[in-house]
C-alpha cells in the first residue's frame, strides 16, 4: 500500500508538470533582489485549495494584508500549516527551479533574482486554477521585500 501511495505522490508532484507554475509566477513578479526565495512559497500557496481560491480572485489592488486579514476567520485559513507545507515542497521547488534553469527557461542572476528567459504554456487542464493563482500571486507579494513577506506569512525558516 505504501508503494502505491508513493507512486501517486510522485505522479502528482512531478517537476515536469509543476515547473511551468514558477515560470508564470516569475513572469508577472516585479524583478527584485533575492526573489529566488519567494519560489519556496509558490507551491505551498497555490496548490493548497483554500489559499489558491483567494489568490486566484485577487486584484491588482490586493495586498498581503488583505490576504491575511486576521479579523475574518476564512482569511486566516489561507496560511494554516504554511510552515509545514513549505518544508514539504522545499525539495520539489529546488528541483523545479533547477530544471527550469537547465532548460534555459529561467536565469538566476548574481543577486539571487530570477529572470524569465522563455515562457512555457500550460498543458495541464487539471492545473488551470493553479496557473491562474500562480500568475496572480504577485498581487499578494507586491510592495514588500522578501523578509517582510515571510514575516507576514509566519514562515520562520526554509
pLDDT one digit per residue (tens) for the chain, 158 residues:
678 877 777 777 888 989 999 999 999 998 889 999 999 999 999 999 988 998 998 888 888 888 887 566 655 788 888 999 999 999 999 999 999 999 999 999 999 999 999 877 777 777 889 989 999 999 888 888 999 999 988 888 88
User: What 3-state class would DSSP assign to 92?
Assistant: helix
pTM (predicted TM-score): 0.87
Q: What is the domain partition of the chain in residue ranges?
A: 3-153
- Residue 47 has what pLDDT? 92
- Residue 80 has what pLDDT? 85
How far is Cα 78 from Cα 68, in angstroms, rounded to an integer? 7
Cβ atoms within 10 Å of 116's Cβ, excluding its own = 19
In eight-state DSSP terms, residue 114 is E
- Residue 102 has what pLDDT? 96
Amino acid at each position: 500500500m505504501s508503494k502505491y501511495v508513493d507512486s501517486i505522490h510522485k505522479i502528482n508532484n512531478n517537476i515536469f508538470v509543476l515547473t511551468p507554475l514558477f515560470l508564470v509566477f516569475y513572469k508577472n513578479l516585479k524583478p527584485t533582489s533575492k526573489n529566488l526565495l519567494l519560489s519556496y512559497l509558490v507551491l505551498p500557496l497555490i496548490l493548497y485549495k483554500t489559499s489558491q481560491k483567494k489568490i486566484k480572485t485577487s486584484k491588482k489592488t490586493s495586498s498581503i494584508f488583505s490576504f491575511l486579514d486576521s479579523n475574518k476567520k476564512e482569511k486566516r485559513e489561507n496560511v494554516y500549516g504554511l510552515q509545514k507545507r513549505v518544508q514539504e515542497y522545499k525539495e520539489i521547488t529546488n528541483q523545479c527551479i533547477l530544471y527550469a534553469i537547465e532548460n534555459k527557461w529561467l536565469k538566476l542572476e548574481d543577486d539571487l533574482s530570477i529572470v524569465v528567459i522563455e515562457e512555457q504554456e500550460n498543458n495541464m487542464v487539471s492545473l488551470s486554477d493553479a496557473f491562474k493563482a500562480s500568475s496572480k500571486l504577485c498581487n499578494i507579494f507586491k510592495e514588500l521585500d522578501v523578509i517582510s513577506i515571510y514575516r507576514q506569512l509566519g514562515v520562520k525558516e526554509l
